[in-house]
């Protein structure tokens, strides 16, 4: 993943809803945390995620897997019954129109429920 320099900020991420096998996340601009729009030079939001056992330590950076980029700041991730009780760690980064990635944000984790 190439890091580009015209975007200095990385998104914060919050889980805003937890439903059976579905988590809803909000990737926000830390400078304007209640604004739902992406920053002006952001084309999409890259997502990296890993699912681990509930008692596992925080995963290493190389354990995260890139997901499909999101075009909206509020997005859902869906899970299977085999994921119930597991922890999902998620990080986000901004992508510009040239598909170049900005800095990677901090991870959060959420327990997957049925």
pLDDT by residue (tens digit) across 10-30? 999 999 999 999 999 999 999
pLDDT given at position 7: 60
Confidence of residue 6 (pLDDT cuts 50, 70, 90): low
Kindly state the DSSP code that residue 41 receives in the 8-state scheme. T
CATH number of the domain that 62 lies in? 2.60.40.10
Domain membership flag for residue 48: yes
pLDDT at 8: 76
Q: Is the pLDDT of residue 5 over 50?
A: no
Q: Is residue 4 part of a domain?
A: no
Asked, for residue 100, whether it belongs to a domain, the answer is: yes
How distant, in Å, are the alpha carbons of 27, 88, 89 from that of 58? 20, 10, 8
Q: Is residue 26 part of a domain?
A: yes
Q: Is residue 44 scored above 70 in pLDDT? A: yes
pLDDT at 60: 97
Task: Report how many domains make up the chain.
Answer: 1
Q: What is the pLDDT of residues 60-98, one digit of tens each?
A: 999 999 999 999 999 999 999 999 999 999 999 999 999
Top pLDDT among 103 and 2 is at 103
- pTM value? 0.90
Question: Residue 97 and residue 82: Cα distance in Å, rounded?
Answer: 36
Provide the 10 A C-beta neighbour count for residue 89: 18
Q: Measure the CA–CA gap between 50 and 67, rounded to whole angstroms.
A: 10
Flag whether 28 is in a domain.
yes
Assess if residue 47 is contained within a domain: yes
- Assess if residue 43 is contained within a domain: yes
Q: Find all residues with CB under 8 Å of 49, minimum gap 6, and list them.
A: 64, 65, 67, 77, 88, 89, 90, 91
Task: Report the alpha-carbon distance of residue 56 to residue 31 in Å, rounded.
Answer: 32
The residue segments making up the domain with residue 58 are 12-111
């Amino acid at each position: 993943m190439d890091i580009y320099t015209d975007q200095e900020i990385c998104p914060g991420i919050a889980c805003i809803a937890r439903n059976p096998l579905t988590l809803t996340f909000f990737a926000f601009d830390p400078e304007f945390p209640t604004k739902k729009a992406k920053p002006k030079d952001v084309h999409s939001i890259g997502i990296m995620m890993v699912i681990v056992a509930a008692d596992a330590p925080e995963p290493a950076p190389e354990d995260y897997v890139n997901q499909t980029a999101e075009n909206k700041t509020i997005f859902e991730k869906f899970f299977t019954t085999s994921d119930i009780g597991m922890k999902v760690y998620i990080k986000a980064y901004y992508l510009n129109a040239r598909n170049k990635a900005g800095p990677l944000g901090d991870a959060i984790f959420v327990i997957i429920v049925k």
